[in-house]
Amino acid sequence: MEKYTTLSSVQQDIKDSKLHLRQLVEAYLQRIEENKHLNAFVEVFAEEARSQAEIVNSRLLDGTAGKLAGMVIGIKDLICYQNHIVSAGSKILDNYRSVFSSTVVERLLAEDAVIIGRQNCDEFAMGGSNENSFHGPVKNNADNSRVPGGSSGGSAVAVQAGLCMASLGTDTGGSVRQPAAFCGVVGLKPTYGRVSRHGVIAYASSFDQVGPITNSVEDAALLLEVIAGHDEYDSTSSTLPVPAYTQQLDFSGKKRIAYLPETLTSEGLDPEVKALTEKTIKELQEAGHAVEPISFPYLDFVVPTYYILTMAEASSNLARYDGVHYGYRSPNATDLESTYKKSRSEGFGAEVKRRILLGSFVLSAGHYDAFYGKAQRVRRVIREKTDEILQDHDFILLPTTPGPAFGIGEKTDDPVTMYLADIFTVQASLAGIPAISLPLGETKTNLPLGIQLIGKRFGESELLAFSKYILNVTKSR
C-alpha cells in the first residue's frame, strides 16, 4: 500500500472509494508488527482501531465525519485514555488503567481520529534518548543502532517508520522537537497554555505541552487546531480563541528572522548541523527575508535553569506515586514508611530517581534561594530577552539539536552531557513560546537533521505557515 503522508489524500481516496479506512488501519497494524524491533509501541489497540475504522469510513462516505476522519494516530504513553493503561514508561504505573480520558484524547475522538496504540517514551518524559523507558529502548528507524531521541521517541519513530500517520507527544524541554529532528519528521511544541494538560501525566507542570509529530506541516496544523483551546479542567489553559490554522497556511511576503550566533559557536555543535543551519539562513536570505544575527547572551544558562526548575516540579509531581493508592506497591513493604521507600525505590528508574532527588534538594530549606529561587529569576530574564528578540523579529531560527541521533548507550553514563544536548530546545520551553522542528536535512550518512523555528507567543498560525514555506523552499535543493 502507498504510504500516505497527508490526511487529505487519505480522505480523498476513501471518498473516491479507492480506499477503505479499515485497509489503511490493517496496513499500519501490519507495519507495526513488522517493525516490532523498533519498540515504538508499548501497546496496540488493534481491535478498537479496526472497529473505529469501520465507523469512521461510513461517516466519511455519508459526509458526517469529523476533521480527523482517516487519521490513524498513536499517543504517547503519558496521555490518559479512559479504560486504557497509561504507564508513563514506568514500572510504578505498569498496568495502571486510567478511569478518564485526557482532553486531547477526547478532542481527537470527537473529530473521528483512530487511535491505534500507545507509544514508548522515557519514564515520566524524563530523557532525551528514550533509553529511560521501563519498556526498553526505542530504535531510530534511520539507523537501528541509534536512539530516536526523547522523551517522545516512540511517537517520532512511529511516524518516521510509517507505523501511523501522526502521533501526539509531549514536550517539556524538547521532547517533541528533538526526537522529530532525530527521526526526520515535523514536531511542534505549542505555546504554554495553548493545549490542555488535563489527563497528561505531569513531569514539570509549568513547561509541559502536548504537541503533534507528523509527516507534514499541514497535519501538524490540523492536529493543533483540534486539540488546542481552553479547557475548564486546566486552569493554565488559555482562553484565547483558536485560529483555523489549516486555513492560514498560505505564506507570502518577507519575514524578519533572528538567528543566535552563540548557537553556531556553541561547544559540541556538529559541523554538519552547523552547515545545515548556515545553509538554511543563506537560502532564506536569498529568498529575500531578513535573517540577522541577534546576540542571546544567556545560552549557557538555559540548561541549568531548565533542569533546576523541572526537577523541582517533578519532585513534587511524582510524590503521588507512593504505592498507597494505585500503581506499583512493593511486595516487601511492611508498613507505611517501607511502602513508600520500597515501592518508590523499586518502581522508579535511575533517571527519575536522580531528578526527584535533585528536585527535592533545590527546593529544600537551605538551598531554595540559591537554586530554585535563582532559577525562577533567570527564567524570567530568559523569557524577557526572548520576547524582546521576538518583538523585532517574526521568528528565531536555530538548530533543534547539536548533532544527529547518537548511538544507543553512548551517553547513558553521563547525564550532564545528555542534559547539555537539550541546549537548543529549552529556550522556547523556558519562555513558554511555540517552536517547531522541521526536517531540513541529513548527514552524509543519511541521519536526519532538524532546524528549529521559534515563534511569538500564541503565534502558531504564522509559525506553521512559514514552516510550510521553508519546507518548500528547501525542497528545491
Partner 1 sequence: MTAMDTEQKVMTEEVLNKYELVIGLEIHAQLATKTKIFSSDPAFFGAEPNKHTTPVSLGLPGTLPKINEEVVTCAVKLGLATHCKINLVNRFDRKNYFYADLPKGYQITQDELPICQKGFIVINLKDKEEKKIRLNRIHMEEDAGKSMHDKDDRYSLIDLNRAGVPLLEIVSEPDLRSAEEAAAYLSEVRRIVRYLDVCDGNMEEGSLRCDANISVRLKGAAEYGCRCEVKNLNSIRNLQRAVNYEFRRQVQLIESGERIDQNTLNFDAATGVTSVLRSKEMALDYRYFPEPDLPPLHLSQDWVDELRKELPVLPEQRIKRYTSELGLSEYDASLLTNDRSVADFYEELISVSSNYKSAANWVIGPVQSLLNESGKEISELGIPASAIAEIIQLVEEGKVNNSAATQQIFPVLTASPGKQVNEIARELNLFIDTNEDDLDAFIEQAVSKYPDKVVEYNKGKKGVLGLFMGELMKVSGGKIDPKTANKLLISKLESLK
Dihedral (CA of 184, 191, 311, 373) sign: positive
Give the residue with the Cβ less far from partner 1, 379 or 411: 379
- Looking at 87, 129, 152, 175, which residue is catalytic? 175
Query: What distance in Å separates the CA atoms of residue 196 and residue 188, rounded to the nearest whole number?
Result: 15
Strand runs labelled E in 215-294: 256-259, 290-293
Nearer to partner 1, 189 or 289 (CB): 189
Q: Which of 343, 306, 310, 383 is nearest to 125 (CA)?
A: 310
Is residue 308 within 8 A of residue 433, CB to CB? The reply is: no
Q: Which of 296, 458 has the CB closer to partner 1?
A: 458
175 catalytic residue (yes or no): yes
Please report how close the Cβ of residue 26 comes to partner 1 at its closest, in angstroms.
31
Give the sign of the dihedral formed by CA 420, CA 439, CA 25, CA 12: positive
The verdict on 299 binding partner 1 (CB under 8 A) reads: no
How far out from the chain centre does Cα 119 lie?
12
Instruction: Please report whether residue 316 would count as binding partner 1 according to CB under 8 A.
Output: yes
Q: Are strands 395-399 and 256-259 parallel, antiparallel or unpaired?
A: parallel
User: Which residue from 91, 197, 457, 468 is in contact with partner 1, where contact means CB under 8 A?
Assistant: 197
Beta strands in 363-447 (DSSP E): 395-399, 435-442
Residue 198 binds partner 1 (CB under 8 A):
yes
**DSSP-assigned states of every residue in 255-268:** -EEEE-HHHHS-TT
- Cβ proximity to partner 1: between 273 and 309 the closer is 309
Please report the beta strands in 96-189, taking only residues with DSSP state E, as ranges in sequence order. Answer: 114-119, 166-171, 186-189
Which residue of 10, 80, 166, 408 would you call a contact of partner 1, by CB under 8 A? 80
Q: How far apart are CA 202 and CA 212, in angstroms?
A: 17
330 is catalytic: no
The site map against partner 1 for 89-128 (x = CB under 8 A) is ----x--x-xxx-x--------------------------
Establish whether 76 is a catalytic residue.
Answer: yes
Nearer to partner 1, 47 or 232 (CB): 232
Which of 67, 76, 91, 342 does the annotation list as catalytic? 76
* Residue from the set 18, 58, 144, 233 that interacts with partner 1 by CB under 8 A: 233
Give the interface segment with partner 1, choosing from 180-188, 197-205, 388-396, 436-444 (CB under 8 A): 197-205
Q: What Å distances lie between residue 38 and 88, 313, 346, 360, CA to CA?
A: 18, 31, 26, 35
When the beta carbons of 190 and 402 are compared against partner 1, the nearer one is 190
| Out of 206, 248, 338, 412, the residue judged to bind partner 1 by CB under 8 A | 206
Which residues in 337-396 contact partner 1 (CB under 8 A)? 340, 360, 363-365, 368, 372
Contacts with 456 (C-beta within 8 Å, 6 or more apart), sequence order: 390, 394, 433, 434, 462, 463
Residues assigned a catalytic role: 76, 151, 175
Residues within the interface to partner 1 (CB under 8 A): 79-80, 86, 88, 93, 96, 98-100, 102, 197-202, 204-206, 232-236, 312-313, 315-316, 318-322, 324-326, 336, 340, 360, 363-365, 368, 372
